[in-house]
Chains A and B, each alone.
Chain A
C-alpha cells in the first residue's frame, strides 16, 4: 500500500513570497490533515478535511494560509505572503474516517523562509 505522498520535499523562499505544498493521501482515506512542525516541537494541526469539506481550521492563520481539497483526494496548502516564523516542516497525514483512529504521515515539506 502506497503511503502519503508530499511534494516538494524542500523549499527555500524569501519572506513575503508565496509557496504551495501538495499532498496525496493514502487511497481510500477520507480524512486529510495538514500539520506544522517547528524544529524541536511536535506537529501542530493546521487544518482537517473530511472528503472535500473542512472539519477544523481553528489553528490555521487564515490571513496568510489557505488550503483546499476540491475533489476530496489531493490537497494543497498555500502560504501567501510567507513570514520568517513560517519556517517549519509541513506534514500531511490521512486516516480512514477521522476521529479516534491512527493517522498516517507523509515525509513532509521542509520550508525555509529567508
Chain B
C-alpha cells in the first residue's frame, strides 16, 4: 500500500552543526508535504510545508527539499540547538479528490549533543 517512510529512525548531531532528516514517499499522487516536530509529551508542531510544484522551500533555519523523480523529501536544520531535539515526522497529502488524508511516516528522533 501507499506509505511514507524514513530512512533513519535516530540521528545524533553536535550542537551548532547542520542536520539532515530524510523521508521517502511512495504515493506518486502526493501533492502536499509537511514536516512536523514532536517534542516529548506534546502534539506535532508544524515546521514547514512544500507543494509538489516546488523543489525547495526555506524557513527560519530550516529548508525542505523535494525530489519528485525519486520520491524523496528532506528537512535540513541549520546551526542546530538543544531545543531542536525531538521526533520529526514527514507527512503527505495526496491530491486524489476525496482522499486528501494526511499520512504520517514513522518519524526520526533527532538528538542534539551539547
Are A and B a genuine interacting pair, yes or no?
yes
Main secondary structure of the interface of B (DSSP, over half): strand
Confirm or deny: A72 has a beta carbon within 8 angstroms of a beta carbon on chain B: no
Contact partner, A56, options B32, B36, B101, Cβ 8 Å: B101
Confirm or deny: A100 has a beta carbon within 8 angstroms of a beta carbon on chain B: yes
* Count, chain B residues at interface, CB 8 A: 24
Residues of A within 8 A of B101 (CB): 45, 48, 56
Within the assembled complex, what's the spacing in Å between the Cα atoms of A31 and B104? 18
Contact partner, B106, options A33, A42, A104, A110, Cβ 8 Å: A42
* Closest B residue to A9 using CB positions: B41
Q: Mark B96-114, 1 if CB is under 8 A from A, else 0.
A: 0000111011110000000
Confirm or deny: A67 has a beta carbon within 8 angstroms of a beta carbon on chain B: no
Residues of B within 8 A of A93 (CB): 43
Query: Could you list some 30 contacts between A and B, CB below 8 A?
Result: A4-B43, A41-B107, A42-B4, A42-B91, A42-B104, A42-B107, A43-B44, A43-B89, A43-B104, A45-B101, A45-B102, A48-B101, A91-B44, A93-B43, A98-B100, A100-B31, A100-B32, A100-B51, A102-B46, A102-B49, A103-B34, A103-B102, A104-B46, A105-B44, A105-B45, A106-B43, A107-B42, A107-B43, A108-B43, A110-B41
